Amino acid sequence: MHSLGFYRDENDELSVQGIKVSDLAKKYGTPLYIYDTEIMKDRYDIFFNTIKEVNGNIHYAVKANDSVNIIKFFSKLGCGADIVSIGEFEKCMAAGIPANKIIFSGVGKNKNEIEVALRNNILQFNIESEEELDDIYSIASKIKIKANICLRVNPDIAPKTHKKISTGEKETKFGIDFKNVKEIYRKLHQLDHINPVGLGVHIGSQIFDFNFFNQAYLNLKNLADDLRKSGFIVPSLDLGGGIGVDYKNNIEPNYSDYKKIINTLFFKSDYKLSFEPGRSLIAQAGILVTKVIRNKKTKDKNFIIVDAAMNNLIRPTLYDAYHKIVHVENNNNMKIKADIVGPICETGDYLALNRSINYVDNNQFLAIMTAGAYSSVMSSNYNARSDAIEILIVNNKDHQIKKVDSIKEIIAKEKLINFD
């Protein structure tokens, strides 16, 4: 039997499901994303058991990691999907998720996306403005298909997270002002080809203080209760996602506190609830393996230069995010302080700064931990660099799940002009 997740074996080798990570890196090359289905199942079970006493469904937030195989795995566990583009919709279709289990969120749904979603009978649109409602109504009327509409409410709550992933404050682009919700919900009932299905809220990501969830959910429920008292149909509430992941110390959020909030508000309630976890399901299930190109020492600093870069993992650069970084092979070398940096021609191309780490020799491997969410999905070909290879570990076997374009294949996507 092996330990759950990524662990060190008896020889101090980083391993997953009985397989040495170094063997996988040698087999596939680096940079290399490795995802562990055992962790994915464990994270799903924790969330499912947290909400099982209320009438709720889990819709995996595809934006966290849009690998078709990862979507498919969560679908097999029972998840629907939360999407924000028609591209994500097509990935869900490829993964086998029925359209009637897909929620379409996001502020920028264009008319083509709306029509495609309508013709496929998605579960609902979470709309962000009255202007968006007008667009959906116009298209639904034209093609004579009824649109299920949920109003996303902006509760003006600042949940003490990074400003770039805080989505519940009135200054952000997300949601409908609380004071305008009743008027717009009344409008839903006056439009043919529109079916009002409820209200939703999503206040941000990386939230550890669950009091913010309690405040947002209570306000949403009170608003829905008021609408019902006024004679309106409000069958469901979408509670979004946002539970945080501890990247530094891997301390588990207190799911029992979250369960208490959910049960206090909704136990024996007839509201049908939707939950949209993303990061909390997939972040800890992934790592990024990189090889040391060389060590550089200056008068003031040590640099460990690796073959992964900000085009593979932009979170440290974009969000000042911390990822734990560990040696892959057995390593008893002395500790040094170093910046772990990539080959891209920017000072901002780093994975860690002033990090205490065992000295690693050239051609040895490092693993960037907790890299399953908002990592590969945000990659690019900046500096004409290829994507990282991605593999999935299923039942003690490794499977490559993403073809990586060579530089020749990347160039072939461009059309050369004759300037003669």
Q: Which residues contact 174 (CB under 8 A, 6 or more apart)?
A: 107, 128, 152, 154, 167, 168, 202
Q: Which residues contact 192 (CB under 8 A, 6 or more apart)?
A: 141
Q: Sign of the CA dihedral 364, 385, 287, 396?
A: negative
Listed in sequence order, the DSSP H helices in 309-417 are: 315-319, 407-412
Cα R_g (the chain), whole angstroms? 23
Return d(Cα 213, Cα 335) in angstroms, integer: 41
Most distant CA pair in the chain: distance in Å?
Answer: 75
Listed in sequence order, the DSSP H helices in 7-146 are: 21-28, 37-51, 68-77, 86-95, 111-119, 130-143
Return d(Cα 193, Cα 75) in angstroms, integer: 29
Task: Give catalytic residues, as residue numbers.
Answer: 345
At 172 the three-state DSSP class reads coil
In the structure encoding, which two tokens stand for residue 333, read together?
A: 């070398």
Under a CB-based contact definition with an 8 Å cutoff, are residues 349 and 342 in contact?
yes
For residue 103, give the nearest of 184, 197, 242 by alpha carbon.
197
CB atoms within 10 A of CB 173: 10
DSSP 8-state class, residue 347: T
At 215 the three-state DSSP class reads helix
In the structure encoding, which two tokens stand for residue 133, read together?
A: 């409602």
Residue type, 379: S
